[in-house]
């Protein structure tokens, strides 16, 4: 049986949602042969709040001071977590974002499936999704349907034999925007074989975004896509293609094609299993059109941001996408 560790990088701005965060990992800490490493570079008063609410058998630490700095602060935490996991002779690490709330059943299901691949991702599960969460869910399914890779969302697991702590510096893993995909591509280059545990759904907090934070997130995701030539080109081509069709084929014909294509997107999402558990499945499938066409605009914005220096995140200007 492989020894599993959980790595959770966190940099909380306030104590909101931290009670459920601590409760989640306190419950998981009862599982035998499971190491939990929470790498926390929050401000001291928040760090102390988390420390006081976690069980003693959970490792809750600041990032290792010996680690070289990088533009993506989250990856410094990940590097620290991997160093600890290797120190405790773990075989596999699962990286969770701090808004994920994995259950004990999730971990047991992962243990049963862990031999299917040495890189893996699980599906997410919103308990009370809002309008924007449903758009995200539709988008995850469409990415998995259209492109030849699985959309990473808040979690990734991997065999620790595929990576060493020094790789974060030699391969510049700490200087990329899309941290999880950057890590996944690197693990693949080391012989990793990835799989998608779409039957394992990890609970995730609703993002509780307003329209402005949602649009900012769309631009950030579009910026991350710059690292994938085909996806970026595909998104950038939508508007020019639409304009060309109107010019050469006429507005009415182009509108008909637009409506047919939109209905195809809705049908693909509606007939998927990803939205089955939600009562408003039909409404949610309509959101997939919003997700799809929004990238035609945000991709142009993201590429202009890239040309003029990079994306600013957590105080750092990040040029690289992946």
Confidence of residue 33 (pLDDT cuts 50, 70, 90): confident
Task: Tell me: do 73 and 174 sit in the same domain.
Answer: yes
CATH number at residue 109: 3.90.550.10
**How confident is the model over 66-114, as pLDDT tens digits?**
888 788 888 889 999 999 999 999 999 999 999 999 999 999 999 999 8
139-153, 246-260, 287-301: segment of lowest average pLDDT: 139-153
Mean pLDDT for the chain overall: 87
Task: Tell me: do 119 and 15 sit in the same domain.
Answer: yes
Closest CA to 103 of 207, 215, 20, 180: 20
Asked if residue 188 belongs to a domain, the reply is yes
4-18, 22-36, 222-236: segment of lowest average pLDDT: 222-236
Closest CA to 139 of 65, 76, 190, 214: 214
Asked if residue 237 belongs to a domain, the reply is yes
Task: Tell me: do 111 and 187 sit in the same domain.
Answer: yes
At residue 315, the pLDDT reads 74
The average pLDDT across 11-21 equals 92
Confidence of residue 273 (pLDDT cuts 50, 70, 90): low
Task: Tell me: do 97 and 44 sit in the same domain.
Answer: yes
Asked if residue 144 belongs to a domain, the reply is no
Closest CA to 17 of 203, 211, 218, 219: 203
Domain boundary among 188, 204, 220: 204
Task: Tell me: do 112 and 161 sit in the same domain.
Answer: yes
At residue 277, the pLDDT reads 61
Task: Tell me: do 215 and 193 sit in the same domain.
Answer: no
Asked if residue 184 belongs to a domain, the reply is yes
The reported pTM is 0.88
Task: Tell me: do 78 and 217 sit in the same domain.
Answer: no
Task: Tell me: do 97 and 157 sit in the same domain.
Answer: yes
Asked if residue 40 belongs to a domain, the reply is yes
Q: Which residue has the higher pLDDT, 322 or 22?
A: 22
Task: Tell me: do 184 and 290 sit in the same domain.
Answer: no
Asked if residue 256 belongs to a domain, the reply is yes
Domain boundary among 177, 204, 231: 204
Domain count, the chain: 2
Asked if residue 289 belongs to a domain, the reply is yes
Confidence of residue 149 (pLDDT cuts 50, 70, 90): low
The answer to whether 119 touches 182, Cβ cutoff 8 Å, is no
Asked if residue 265 belongs to a domain, the reply is yes
Task: Tell me: do 187 and 245 sit in the same domain.
Answer: no
Task: Tell me: do 168 and 121 sit in the same domain.
Answer: yes
At residue 150, the pLDDT reads 58
At residue 302, the pLDDT reads 94
Task: Tell me: do 10 and 99 sit in the same domain.
Answer: yes
Domain boundary among 183, 204, 225: 204
**How confident is the model over 200-246, as pLDDT tens digits?**
989 999 877 788 888 888 898 899 888 888 889 989 999 999 999 99
- Assigned token pair, 44: 């001291």
The average pLDDT across 249-275 equals 85
Confidence of residue 279 (pLDDT cuts 50, 70, 90): low
- Residue 294 belongs to domain spanning: 211-318
**How confident is the model over 38-57, as pLDDT tens digits?**
999 999 999 999 999 999 99
């Amino acid at each position: 049986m492989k020894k599993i560790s959980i790595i959770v990088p966190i940099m909380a701005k306030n104590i909101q949602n931290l009670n459920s965060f601590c409760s989640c990992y306190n419950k998981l800490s009862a599982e035998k042969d499971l190491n939990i490493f929470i790498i926390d570079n929050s401000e001291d008063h928040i760090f102390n709040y988390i420390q006081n609410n976690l069980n003693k058998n959970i490792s809750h630490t600041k990032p290792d001071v010996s680690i070289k700095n990088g533009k993506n602060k989250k990856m410094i935490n990940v590097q620290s977590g991997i160093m600890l996991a290797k120190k405790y002779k773990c075989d596999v690490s699962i990286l969770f974002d701090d808004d994920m709330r994995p259950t004990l059943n999730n971990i047991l299901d992962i243990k049963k499936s862990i031999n299917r691949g040495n890189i893996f991702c699980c599906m997410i599960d919103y308990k009370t999704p809002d309008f924007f969460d449903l758009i995200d869910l539709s988008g995850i399914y469409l990415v998995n349907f259209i492109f030849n890779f699985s959309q990473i969302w808040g979690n990734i697991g991997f065999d620790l034999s595929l990576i060493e702590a020094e790789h974060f510096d030699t391969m510049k893993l700490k200087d990329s925007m899309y941290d999880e995909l950057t890590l996944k591509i690197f693990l693949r280059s080391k012989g990793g074989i990835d799989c998608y545990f779409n039957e394992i759904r990890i609970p995730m907090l609703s993002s509780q975004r307003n329209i402005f934070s949602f649009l900012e997130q769309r631009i950030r995701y579009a910026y991350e896509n710059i690292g994938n030539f085909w996806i970026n080109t595909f998104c950038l081509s939508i508007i020019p293609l639409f304009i060309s069709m109107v010019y050469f084929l006429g507005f009415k014909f182009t509108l008909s094609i637009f409506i047919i294509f939109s209905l195809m997107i809705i049908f693909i999402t509606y007939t998927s299993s990803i939205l089955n558990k939600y009562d408003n499945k039909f409404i949610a499938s309509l959101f997939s059109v919003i997700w799809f066409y929004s990238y035609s605009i945000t991709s142009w914005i993201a590429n202009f941001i890239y040309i003029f220096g990079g994306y600013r995140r957590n105080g750092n200007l990040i040029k690289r996408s992946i």
